[in-house]
Structure 1
Amino acid sequence: MRKAIEIVKAHYDANDRHDIDDMLADIAPDCRWTEMDGFPCAGTYVGPQEIFRNVFQALGKSFDGYTFKLERLLDAGDEIVAVGDYSGTHRETGKTFNARVVHVWSVAGGKIRRFEQFTDTLRVAESMR
């Protein structure tokens, strides 16, 4: 069985390839995915389809070139912490943003069970007005 860090790294590798199917492949049906309050798609979504619709698809509709650039992964066994940067251009305003971000992942039984985002929501909000 793959280690938690390998599963999370595979998610980011799929993100870099823009491969949604591979991004969702290791997400458990009961995974709780939380986007930070104040973020455009804030909330907690359960399961791959809710996550796709309310996070990945929603961000793609609102932003051109929305990206996450991974700087480093920290291995804490079944808990993984990712540090990096978001960037993008809001489609309606044409304004760009860059925001520092941390993701906290929980993996069990070879599946992603929980994800929580921590980011500078003000930077993103400023691009939207």
Structure 2
Amino acid sequence: MAEHSPTVTKRLYEALDRCDLEALVGLCDPAVEVVAPPSLPWACGTRTGLVGAVDCFTRAFGMLERTRFSVTEMRPTGDDRMTVVGNWWGRVRDTGREFDVRFVHLWTFRHGMVVKAEVIIDSAGILRAFEPGTGP
């Protein structure tokens, strides 16, 4: 494992908690690939390059009023790879409803930059928070 991976990973989650697009993009290689479930409301699927990453993050941040990632495990899984497990809490802007779901993120780094981000998440839990209802 490259020494920079834990430091970069920590900075990624700090930026995600703040919905800080500039900081996130600053940690990504120009050829970054983001792979997220297409079932999510912001419908990322697979996006490549900084334009694709910006599109995915902008869509998600635009739909969420607040967000917080609670990392429970951060484990190196080979040279320049990190697996992160935790919970993701968020509040949907349009419904005011909240979700709290488990996630697994697989990060691949090259020269201290993210070259691939893979998201495994409880999409159903997020989708429920987007359903119109009587409140949070």
TM bucket by the smaller chain? 0.7 to 0.9
Percent identity over the alignment is: 22
Question: Judging changes above 3 Å, is the alpha-carbon distance between structure 1 residues 7 and 103 closer, same or farther for their aligned structure 2 residues?
Answer: same
Q: Secondary structure at the match of 1:40?
A: coil
Give 2:32's aligned residue.
31
Higher share of residues assigned strand: 1
Equivalent runs, 1:1-129 vs 2, <5 Å: 2-41=3-42, 42-54=44-56, 56-76=57-77, 77-129=79-131
Alignment check: 8 A CA contact 1:36 1:116 kept: no
The alignment yields a C-alpha RMSD, in angstroms, of 1.9
Amino acid at match of 1:38: S
Which 5+ residue runs of structure 2 have no aligned equivalent?
132-136
Amino acid at match of 1:37: P
Alignment check: 8 A CA contact 2:109 2:116 kept: yes
Between 1:92-101 and 1:5-14, the stretch displaced more is 5-14
Between 1:10-19 and 1:34-43, the stretch displaced more is 10-19
Alignment check: 8 A CA contact 2:19 2:67 kept: no
CA-to-aligned-CA distance 1:94-118 (integer Å, 9 cap, x gap) = 2211110010011122221111000
Normalised to the residue count of structure 1, the TM-score between the two structures is: 0.85
User: Aligned residues, how many?
Assistant: 128
Q: Secondary structure at the match of 1:32?
A: strand
CA-to-aligned-CA distance 1:71-99 (integer Å, 9 cap, x gap) = 22111231101111111122222221111
Q: How far, CA to CA, are the matches of 1:60 and 1:25 in structure 2?
A: 17
Which 5+ residue runs of structure 1 have no aligned equivalent?
none
Q: How far, CA to CA, are the matches of 2:93 and 2:20 in structure 1?
A: 22
Question: Judging changes above 3 Å, is the alpha-carbon distance between structure 1 residues 51 and 64 closer, same or farther for their aligned structure 2 residues?
Answer: same
Q: Secondary structure at the match of 2:74?
A: strand
Q: How far, CA to CA, are the matches of 2:121 and 2:15 in structure 1?
A: 21
Dislocated runs of 4+, deviation >6 Å: none
Question: Judging changes above 3 Å, is the alpha-carbon distance between structure 1 residues 123 and 34 closer, same or farther for their aligned structure 2 residues?
Answer: same
